[in-house]
Structure 1
């Protein structure tokens, strides 16, 4: 079985100050404290703006060897309308991708860059135009470890053709645990790896009440604390299933508000440690 690395989808949520982070800890030093507890994390801020290379270099310097960052792709790369260079964009341009790769280079050079998350929204429908766009991203970023998450459930109604398509292009399928509501709004969990070197399980919580609520903010939609039973009986077996077919499985909790993600990640890490001890004693 491959390694299972557990973390969260952000390290800078304000709710962590005074609970997870000691009071008075400077924001620039939060990543160093986080890296004492977890081996991996997603960069969430990169969705809103491409970080400067020196910022990525500082993250690399503040974390220990072997720590892995994953980057959530800048909004327009995944068709989220965002301003860049004074203009609104809803698709990537070659120049945008060049700047993105320059930004990530310090992490890549340090051996600390994992996957680039392509999280496509609900309005990104499964059709030829959109599939061609994903293929263009793959061709435009040949060296990136691209991971694809679909928020529109129709992509995964019949998953096998899509999984085959991703395997052929060496793109990782992102397994998601999220609230199950309407057909369009909820992608079901499809436990499958499309690369042999890594797999991903992202956990968005199960707050069905707020998932499709009009005008609900991010903190409200992801406001969910997984129970110990859910972690031990559902999440852990899913992570193990992925680890049986890959070298590394990254499990990232996206329910970061109120410290839920950190708490849930610790529970999962303890469960994994208990399994290792049991295997050592009785295996």
Structure 2
């Protein structure tokens, strides 16, 4: 994936997008097949709420074009409940399910930690020790204490990507020096709802010029997510 940015969304099943993106008469079961005609990647977030199976991921994999890429979010039982403590077996099981299910269509594996998960040296070491570095790992933090040089240096050394987040309570840094650019657009000022202006999207394009990676729009509680994704795709191309 050389000098290529893929654009996608973090959900697709949205009735608010009918008449804007989806045809008015399109049924819910046909939404994803319509989605992948326009986008080459999708950030699978359903695995955050329920631990996935190989069969589930295989079904998603088999229905998409050969060049389609899935990024996958780790289950909350790993990142929010256990917070990486005493769950090595479960983490390895998740990696295995991702690899066997999505095969060559697996992009990044995303680990998003909760706002209560603040920085400490012990936690940083815990994360690095538990990640399988054979995968494209992306880590998203929701506590500002992780925005520090110690974390960035450790991630770079271990080929881990620090997630760039557009979030009302977090720094707006676009990280360009990690293995991949990985940006999650959550909506500002209203989380999951707010739209981004053309000026804001163009600024991101300029910042990541000549880089490779993914931009996912998670401001999907309104029509903003799909409209921003379509515009960003036009801008990047």
TM-score by length of 1: 0.75
Deviation sequence 1:200-234 (CA, Å, 0-9, x none): 12211211xx5xxxxxxxxxx221011222222x2
Residues 104 and 113 in structure 1, CA contact (< 8 A), matched pair in contact too:
yes
CA distance in structure 2 between the partners assigned to 1:99 and 1:17 by the alignment: 37
Deviation at 1:172, TM superposition (A): 0.8
Q: 1:170: which partner in 2?
A: 159
Matching of residue 200 in structure 1 with residue 201 in structure 2: no
The one of 207, 213, 219 equivalent to 1:249 is 213
Q: CA deviation at 1:49?
A: 0.8
Aligned to 1:237: 206
Unaligned runs of 5+ in 1: 82-88, 180-184, 211-220, 274-283
Deviations 1:166-217 (A, max 9, x none): 01111011112222xxxxx42341433211xx2212211211xx5xxxxxxx
SS of the aligned residue for 1:121 comes to coil
In structure 2, the CA distance between the partners of 1:227 and 1:100, relative to structure 1 (3 Å rule), is: same
Q: How much is the aligned-residue C-alpha RMSD, in angstroms?
A: 2.1
**Deviation string, structure 1 residues 228-279 (Cα, Å, up to 9, x no partner):** 22222x2222232xxx3x4x22111111122211100111122223xxxxxx
For residues 4-43 of structure 1, what are the structure 2 equivalents within 5 Å?
A: 4-17=5-18, 19-23=20-24, 25-43=26-44
SS of 1:186's equivalent? coil
State the partner residue of 2:66: 65
Aligned equivalents of 1:96, 1:40: Cα separation in 2: 26
Whether the aligned pair in 1 keeps the contact of 2:8 and 2:39 (CA below 8 Å) is: yes
**Paired residues of 2:88 and 2:130 also in contact (CA < 8 A):** no
Superposed displacement of residue 28, structure 1:
4.3
Aligned 8 A contact 1:199 1:249 in 2: yes
Structure 1 or 2: larger helix share?
1
Q: Which runs of structure 1 show a deviation greater than 6 angstroms over 4 or more consecutive aligned residues?
A: none
Residue 124 (structure 1) shift: 0.9
Structure 1 counterpart SS, 2:195: coil
Unaligned runs of 5+ in 2: none
Residue 53 of structure 1 and its aligned partner are, at CA, apart by 1.3
Q: 1:126 to 1:96 in 2, by over 3 A?
A: same
Quote how far apart the aligned CAs of 1:122 are.
1.4
Alignment partners' CA distance in 2, 1:2 and 1:24? 38
User: Following TM superposition, by how much is the alpha carbon of 1:42 offset from its aligned partner in structure 2, in angstroms?
Assistant: 0.3
SS in 1 for 2:208: helix
- Residues 176 and 203 in structure 1, CA contact (< 8 A), matched pair in contact too: yes
Q: State the partner residue of 2:170.
A: 186
CA contact (8 A) 2:47 2:74 kept: yes
